[in-house]
C-alpha cells in the first residue's frame, strides 16, 4: 500500500485516497501506525478528512470555520519529519483533529458560536491546543457550539445548529455538539470539547462517541474563552476510550499560565489488553435513576453495569443525597460567573461597536442587545441578579455552600467505591425545537452531568446501547480527582468486551461517494 509519489493537487489526491481503504475510518492508533510505517502520508490522511467534511458537513454543520490551508501546511511539515526517519518524532505527528470554537487557535477566528465574536481573531493559542500542536496534530477546523457554550443542543449557536449524524431531525447535544457530530460523522478522528456542566459528556451520549471531562485543574484553561470559570474544563471526544486517552495524555498537565492549573504529575495512561476488572467497586447511585428517565436509558446503563460485573467488577448501591440540588446550584453559579466573564464583550474591549452616534450607554446597549443571543442574555440577567447587592448571600452565597455539600457527597462515596456509574442524560437525543420554548426542560437535560462539574471530579462518557429509534445511549463513569487513568482503564475494558462504540451511523462513505 506504500505510495511512491505524493502529489498535492486535489485531483491526484482524490485518486490516491480512492485506492486506499477509507482512511477516515481508522482509529487514532491505527492512523498513527499507518503514518509511521508510511502506508499513507499525513497529507493524504488530512485530504481524506477534508473531503469527507466537504461531502457531509453541508448537511451536518459540525464546523463553523474550516482551516484547510493550515491543515495541509502542518501535514506537509509532518510528512517531511516522517520522511527523515532518524529523529525522535512527536507522538501524534500528522494526526488531524478538530477544535471546539471556544478554544483559541492563533490567527484563526474564534467565534464562541456568537455574533459578538464573529470577527475575533485571537493572537495566541490555548494551552490545551498548543500542547497538542507540539505533539504534532493537524487542525482541521473549529467546531460548532452553543453560544459561549451555554446550551445542551447547539440550537443556541448564532451560526445555526448542528445535526445529529444518527438522525438529522435530532440535536447532537451541546454545547460541544459540533465536536461530537464531527467525530460521529467520521469528519475527524477526535475533537476537543469543553465541559462546564456536561458539554463533553452529553453530546458524546447523544452521538455515540466517547469523551473525557477532566478533573478541574488537570488541563489548562488558558485560552479557553471563559463561561463559568470555576467549572470550565477542556476535554477530548473520540471514537473510543483508547483514542481519547492517547490525546488526553498530551493535553493534560500543569500550566503556569492558568492559576487554577494543578501541579500533579500526569501518569502514563496504560490500558489493559484483557478486560479483567477484578475487585473494582462500582457505585450505582439511586439518585441517578429517577422517575421520568427514559426507560431504555435506565435499562441499558444497568446492563452496562452488569457487563462490568461479568468482567470482575462489584456493583455497590450508593446514595448521593444532595444530587437534587445540583441543578439549582449550577444554574446560579454558572450564570453568575458568566455575567462577570461576559462583561468584556461591550464593543470597547471586544466586539464590534453598534450605536456609537448615540452616546456611550446607548452603544453598550445596542452592541450587547443586538449581538448576544437570547439564551446568553437570559444567563447574564439571571447571574447579575444572583450577584446583586441584597441578593448575593441568598443566592450565590447559598449556592456555594450547597456546592460544598454536593462535593462532600462524592468524597464520602469514594471511601467505599472506586468509580461511580450513571446515565449521562435522562433521555436520548431530542428533536430540534422540542425544548426551545421551555428553558427549564432544557436545563433538566443536564441533571446528571452537573454534579461532576460542581465537585470538580472527572467523568468519562461512552455508548452502552441504542434506543428503539436507533439513537445512542451514553453512560458516564465518575472517579475521584485526578483518577482519569482509572476511567480510561474501565472504559477501555468495557469496550474490549462490547461493540457499541464500533457502531456507525449510516452516512455516505468515501468509497461510495467517489464511484
Ligand atoms: N448545558 C449546560 C449549560 O448550558 C452545560 C454547558 C457546558 O457544559 N458548557 O450551562
pLDDT in tens for each of the 515 residues of the chain?
333 333 344 444 444 445 568 999 999 999 999 999 999 999 999 999 999 999 999 999 999 999 999 999 999 999 999 999 767 899 999 999 999 999 999 999 999 999 999 999 999 999 999 999 999 999 999 999 999 999 999 999 999 999 999 999 999 999 999 999 999 999 999 999 999 999 999 999 999 999 999 999 999 999 999 999 999 999 999 999 999 999 999 999 999 999 999 999 999 998 988 889 999 999 999 999 978 899 999 999 999 999 999 999 999 999 999 999 999 999 999 999 999 999 999 999 999 999 999 999 999 999 999 999 999 999 999 999 999 999 999 999 999 999 999 999 999 999 999 999 999 999 999 999 999 889 888 998 999 999 999 999 999 999 999 999 999 999 999 999 999 999 999 999 999 999 999 999 998 654 444 33
Alpha carbon distance 513, 515 (integer Å): 6
The residue to mutate among 175, 177, 231, having the most atoms of ligand 1 within 8 angstroms of its beta carbon, is 175
- Write down the residue that cell numbers 462535593 correspond to: 407
Alpha carbon distance 158, 515 (integer Å): 36
Q: Which domains does the chain carry? A: 6-277+422-502 (3.90.1300.10)
- Please work out whether the CB of residue 23 comes within 6 Å of at least one atom of ligand 1: no
Query: By the 8 A CB rule, do 249 and 242 touch?
Result: no
In angstroms, what is the span from residue 491 Cα to ligand 1's centroid?
A: 24
Alpha carbon distance 89, 95 (integer Å): 13
In angstroms, what is the span from residue 201 Cα to ligand 1's centroid?
A: 10
Q: Please say if 100 is a catalytic residue.
A: yes
C-alpha cell at 408: 462532600
Alpha carbon distance 413, 420 (integer Å): 8
Q: Is the pTM of this model over 0.75?
A: yes
**HSE, side-chain direction, 13 A CA sphere, residue 307:** 22
- Please work out whether the CB of residue 153 comes within 6 Å of at least one atom of ligand 1: no
Alpha carbon distance 146, 178 (integer Å): 9
Of the candidates 301, 117, 333, which has an alpha carbon nearest to the alpha carbon of residue 216?
333
In angstroms, what is the span from residue 314 Cα to ligand 1's centroid?
A: 32
In angstroms, what is the span from residue 496 Cα to ligand 1's centroid?
A: 31
In angstroms, what is the span from residue 193 Cα to ligand 1's centroid?
A: 12
Ligand 1 atom nearest to 331, measured from its CA? 10
The residue to mutate among 146, 373, 440, having the most atoms of ligand 1 within 8 angstroms of its beta carbon, is 146
Radius of gyration (Cα) for the chain, nearest Å? Answer: 22
Q: Please say if 483 is a catalytic residue.
A: no
The residue to mutate among 176, 177, 192, 196, having the most atoms of ligand 1 within 8 angstroms of its beta carbon, is 196
Amino acid at each position: 500500500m506504500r505510495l511512491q509519489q505524493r502529489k498535492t493537487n486535489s485531483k491526484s489526491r482524490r485518486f490516491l485516497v480512492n485506492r486506499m481503504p477509507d482512511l477516515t475510518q481508522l482509529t487514532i492508533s491505527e492512523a498513527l501506525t499507518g503514518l509511521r510505517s508510511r502506508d499513507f502520508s499525513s497529507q493524504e490522511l488530512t485530504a481524506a478528512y477534508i473531503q469527507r467534511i466537504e461531502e457531509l458537513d453541508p448537511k451536518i454543520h459540525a464546523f463553523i470555520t474550516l482551516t484547510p490551508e493550515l491543515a495541509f501546511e502542518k501535514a506537509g511539515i509532518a510528512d517531511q519529519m516522517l520522511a527523515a526517519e532518524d529523529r525522535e518524532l512527536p507522538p501524534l505527528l500528522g494526526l488531524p483533529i478538530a477544535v471546539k470554537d471556544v478554544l483559541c487557535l492563533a490567527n484563526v477566528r474564534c467565534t464562541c458560536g456568537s455574533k459578538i465574536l464573529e470577527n475575533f481573531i485571537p493572537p495566541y493559542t490555548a494551552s490545551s491546543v498548543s500542547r497538542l500542536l507540539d505533539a504534532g496534530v493537524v487542525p482541521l477546523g473549529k467546531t460548532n457550539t452553543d453560544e459561549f457554550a451555554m446550551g445542551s443542543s447547539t440550537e443556541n449557536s448564532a451560526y445555526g445548529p448542528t445535526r445529529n449524524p444518527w438522525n438529522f431531525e435530532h440535536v447532537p447535544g451541546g454545547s460541544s455538539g459540533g465536536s461530537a457530530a464531527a467525530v460521529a460523522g467520521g469528519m475527524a478522528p477526535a475533537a476537543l470539547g469543553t465541559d462546564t456542566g456536561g458539554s463533553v459528556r452529553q453530546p458524546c451520549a447523544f452521538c455515540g462517541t466517547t469523551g473525557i471531562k477532566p478533573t478541574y485543574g488537570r488541563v489548562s484553561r488558558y485560552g479557553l474563552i471563559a463561561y463559568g470559570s470555576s467549572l470550565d474544563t477542556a476535554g477530548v471526544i473520540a471514537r473510543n476510550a483508547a483514542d481519547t486517552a492517547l490525546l488526553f495524555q498530551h493535553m493534560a498537565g500543569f500550566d503556569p499560565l492558568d492559576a487554577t492549573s494543578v501541579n500533579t504529575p500526569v501518569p502514563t495512561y496504560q490500558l489493559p489488553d484483557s478486560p479483567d476488572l477484578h475487585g473494582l467497586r462500582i457505585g450505582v447511585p439511586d439518585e441517578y435513576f429517577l422517575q421520568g428517565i427514559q426507560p431504555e436509558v435506565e435499562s441499558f446503563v444497568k446492563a452496562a453495569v452488569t457487563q462490568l460485573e461479568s468482567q470482575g467488577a462489584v456493583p455497590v448501591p450508593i446514595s448521593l443525597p444532595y444530587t437534587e440540588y445540583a441543578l439549582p446550584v449550577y444554574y446560579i453559579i454558572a450564570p453568575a460567573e458568566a455575567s462577570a466573564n461576559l462583561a468584556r464583550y461591550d464593543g470597547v474591549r471586544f466586539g464590534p461597536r453598534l450605536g456609537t452616534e448615540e452616546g456611550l450607554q446607548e452603544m453598550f446597549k445596542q452592541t450587547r442587545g443586538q449581538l448576544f443571543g437570547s439564551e446568553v442574555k437570559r444567563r447574564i440577567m439571571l447571574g447579575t441578579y444572583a450577584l446583586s447587592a441584597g441578593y448575593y448571600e441568598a443566592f450565590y452565597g447559598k449556592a456555594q455552600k450547597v456546592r460544598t455539600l454536593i462535593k462532600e457527597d462524592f468524597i464520602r462515596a469514594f471511601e467505599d467505591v472506586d468509580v461511580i456509574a450513571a446515565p449521562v442524560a435522562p433521555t436520548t437525543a431530542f428533536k430540534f425545537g422540542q425544548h426551545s420554548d421551555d428553558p427549564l426542560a432544557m436545563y433538566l437535560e443536564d441533571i446528571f452531568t452537573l454534579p461532576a462539574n460542581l465537585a470538580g471530579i472527572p467523568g468519562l462518557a461512552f455508548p452502552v446501547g441504542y434506543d428503539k429509534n436507533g439513537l445512542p445511549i451514553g453512560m458516564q463513569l465518575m472517579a475521584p480527582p485526578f483518577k482519569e487513568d482509572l476511567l480510561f482503564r474501565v472504559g477501555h475494558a468495557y469496550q474490549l468486551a462490547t461493540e457499541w462504540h464500533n457502531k456507525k451511523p449510516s452516512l455516505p462513505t468515501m468509497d461510495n461517494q467517489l464511484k
